[in-house]
Amino acid sequence: MHAPTTTHMTVVKRILRYLPSTKSHGVVLRASPSIDLRVFTDFDWAVCPVSRRSTSGYCIFFGDNLITWFSKKQVIVARSNTKAEYRCLSYAVAEISWI
């Protein structure tokens, strides 16, 4: 950040106070007989009554372990259910390509 504000500094301080209390927390990955990469996607077409934007979401599992997830309003207004679905799939495919 090239121009942090007092709000940014307040948030950073809050995070730094929070981190020491979570030292013992961690992510537990369980052994799984399968090493399949499974992706589940879902979307809701034009759910926002104001902007008519759709909501997309996905979760990606490696074996039985959830490794990433995402949920967000789409940046475009989809004119059809199919366009909203393809946009949702494109988000998931981009994440899988990165993995």
pLDDT digits (tens, 9 = 90+) for 12-26: 999 888 888 888 887
CA 84/CA 56 separation, integer angstroms: 8
Task: Provide the residue count of the chain.
Answer: 99
| Sign, Cα dihedral of 86, 92, 96, 99 | positive
Q: What is the model's pLDDT at position 28?
A: 76
Structure tokens given for 96:
């899988």
Q: What is the model's pLDDT at position 30?
A: 78
Say if residues 93 and 85 touch (Cβ distance below 8 Å): no
Helix (H) or strand (E) holding 70: strand 65-73
Say if residues 60 and 41 touch (Cβ distance below 8 Å): no
Question: pLDDT-derived band of residue 1, with 50, 70 and 90 as boundaries?
Answer: low
pLDDT digits (tens, 9 = 90+) for 34-80: 788 999 998 888 877 778 888 889 999 988 888 899 998 888 888 88
